Structure 1
Amino acid sequence: MSHPAAPTPDQAAPLDLFKALEAAVTAAHAGAAILQAYAHKRSELVIDLKARNDLVSQADREAEIAIIEVLRARTPQFGIVAEETGGTPSGPASWYIDPLDGTTNFVHAIPHYAVSIALVANQDCGVAFDDAKCEPGPVVGVIYDPCREEMFTCVRGVGAWLNSHRIQCSRTGSLADALLATGFPYSDMSFTDNYLPMLRDAMHGTRGVRRNGAAALDLAWVACGRFDGYWELRLKPWDIAAGTLLVREAGGLAFDPYERSPWPEHGDIVSGSPEIAKALHALIAPNLKH
């Protein structure tokens, strides 16, 4: 396990990752409180259509405002990149915020959705680790499932937790014995013809495939061993930033199947234990559209 190392005199001071984690946990609770208040009065929700099958509700917007207020008050040095209000990375690191991952589930009263918050470090962030890597990517992650009261947290080089318990990816060694999760095309249908063969191969070559409709929770469930692997395409960085770090800190792999960047910032992701993630990548690779 690697730990943040002391900076040399010519380096910037390292980010205070534990202070950032505390802020993210507080912000996640603030956002979730709004979601759960609306969960009991869904008839009052104002729902808009951003794109085909891509919903945004009053709950999304208000939860995002509450999250941003907490993060700006506690960590004003960081940038904000949020699903509904936008933003661009700035400063040594930026918060990537999805106030309600699983909006369609939420709108349909399906109790499977989450708040997802990640601190993503820039190239010159001042964070150094024992492995000498200082590449950009998530360094703090929080995924909160308010329906189950499950708080997933992680810090780069330190580990991953579910509430107060340390978690790790499953030890399943064979794709034939693996339970996978995925997400179907729902708005952008341009890659459906490529995706369906992947799903077919996964159905034939594994123990089963689940589609629960919340990418952040799919990754959290990989990290705690409920799923053995997960893949999805055409997501947004805020959907998977926290989950990427969570899986990695739980001993697994989470990467861009096209190998374009150090973390899946383009929205395409394969994850799982090292054995399963590699086998899953090999399974879907013949049908990846470049």
Structure 2
Amino acid sequence: MNKTALHLSENLELAVRAARAGAAVLQSYAHRRADLLIDKKARNDLVSQADHEAEAAIIDVLNSSTNTFGIIAEESGGTTRETATWYIDPLDGTTNFLHGVPHYAVSIALVAHRGAIVNGAPLEHDTPVVAVVYDPNQEEIFSALYNTGAWLNDHRIQCSQTESLAEALLATGLPFRDFSFADNYMPTLHDAIHTSRGVRRFGSAALDLAWTACGRFDGYWEMGLASWDVAAGTLLVREAGGVAEDLHHQEPWPIGGYVYAANKNLAPALHTMAAAHLT
């Protein structure tokens, strides 16, 4: 079993620096989007020059540390390593960014692997332990440390206290590139529309989770995401007193991209609704 101790606060500072470096690249392109080179990886799956350059800037900062963690990044891939792995989304909300919609973020998380020593004890399973989601348009930095708390800039945040779906404002993401789960998803959306106060779809999973952590949304669910979309947001919600889990309840965090998140009062009802049509 891995016996390496992780120093969380140092890695949080590193992640914040990396997120700022990546966001600086994004904002340098924000007002000259016509100059961007854009590739289409698949239907509605776009990647721009800004994504690539922001990711490179983030990795450069993370690699400046003496820590030898793995890196899994959206554009360049990578591999896990024994103690811990960085999960990086340099631009969560690429379609928003490319259309001039100012709702996107840099998302960085450190996932400690089973056996790593965190806060003096070995972890029983893989767990996000450091999180940063940075919205450069609003100058909002959401951050979290395992078993320590979550913050928006310098202020501690908490999930909402809403207890029923009837009073809940929910967030979600519609299928847009992978439609293989649409038959599972659409009945859930129908249920949410009819049982909640409202449903929002803003196009950035990282910010949906961050906004759930600070109480702007009461709950959030989505299917068909990638690990880097949800790694940081999972810890934000958990450290804000909420629940963020795999919809299938098969993984210790939603690494497979099927996620639900809410405060502890609302989470069981949200899971029941969101998982009812899964196959």
| Same fold per superposition (TM over 0.5) | yes
Take 1:112 and 1:75, find their aligned partners in 2: how far apart are those partners? 33
Which residue type is aligned with residue 95 of structure 1?
W
| Larger deviation, residues 16-25 vs 118-127 | 118-127
Equivalent pair of 1:38/1:59 in contact (CA under 8 Å)? yes
How far 1:126 sits from its partner (Å)?
2.0
Aligned to 1:275: 265
Task: Give every structure 1 segment of 4 or more consecutive aligned residues whose post-TM-superposition deviation is greater than 6 Å.
Answer: none
User: Which of residues 70, 88, 91 is equivalent to 1:79?
Assistant: 70
How far 1:134 sits from its partner (Å)?
3.4
User: Which of residues 88, 93, 96 is equivalent to 1:97?
Assistant: 88
Equivalent pair of 2:105/2:204 in contact (CA under 8 Å)? yes
User: Which of residues 206, 217, 232 is equivalent to 1:216?
Assistant: 206
Sequence identity percentage: 61
Deviations 1:144-192 (A, max 9, x none): 0000000000000000000000000000111100000000000111111
User: Which of residues 58, 63, 77 is equivalent to 1:67?
Assistant: 58
How far 1:257 sits from its partner (Å)?
1.1
How far 1:276 sits from its partner (Å)?
1.4
Higher-strand-fraction structure: 2
User: Which of residues 113, 116, 136 is equivalent to 1:146?
Assistant: 136
User: Which of residues 13, 16, 21 is equivalent to 2:7?
Assistant: 16
How far 1:40 sits from its partner (Å)?
1.4
Equivalent pair of 1:96/1:118 in contact (CA under 8 Å)? yes
1:32 is the counterpart of 2:23: yes
How far 1:12 sits from its partner (Å)?
2.4
Take 1:42 and 1:21, find their aligned partners in 2: how far apart are those partners? 31
Aligned to 1:262: 252
Aligned to 2:274: 284
Take 1:147 and 1:82, find their aligned partners in 2: how far apart are those partners? 22
Equivalent pair of 2:192/2:199 in contact (CA under 8 Å)? yes
Take 2:120 and 2:263, find their aligned partners in 1: how far apart are those partners? 22
Aligned to 2:148: 158
Equivalent pair of 1:77/1:91 in contact (CA under 8 Å)? no
Unmatched 5+ residue regions in structure 2? none
Take 2:123 and 2:62, find their aligned partners in 1: how far apart are those partners? 26
**TM-score of the superposed pair, with normalisation by structure 1:** 0.94
- CA spacing shift, 1:104–1:112, aligned 2, 3 Å: same
Equivalent pair of 1:237/1:267 in contact (CA under 8 Å)? yes
The secondary structure found in structure 2 opposite 1:243 is helix
Number of matched pairs: 279
Take 1:147 and 1:52, find their aligned partners in 2: how far apart are those partners? 27
Equivalent pair of 2:226/2:256 in contact (CA under 8 Å)? yes
Correspondences of 1:144-223 after superposition (within 5 Å) = 144-223=134-213
How far 1:11 sits from its partner (Å)?
7.4
Take 1:271 and 1:157, find their aligned partners in 2: how far apart are those partners? 18
Take 2:269 and 2:153, find their aligned partners in 1: how far apart are those partners? 30
How far 1:124 sits from its partner (Å)?
2.1
How far 1:275 sits from its partner (Å)?
1.7
Equivalent pair of 1:127/1:134 in contact (CA under 8 Å)? no
Equivalent pair of 1:129/1:157 in contact (CA under 8 Å)? no
Equivalent pair of 1:118/1:138 in contact (CA under 8 Å)? yes
**TM-score of the superposed pair, with normalisation by structure 2:** 0.97
Aligned to 1:44: 35
Equivalent pair of 1:23/1:75 in contact (CA under 8 Å)? no
Superposition CA RMSD, Å: 1.4
Take 1:161 and 1:102, find their aligned partners in 2: how far apart are those partners? 22
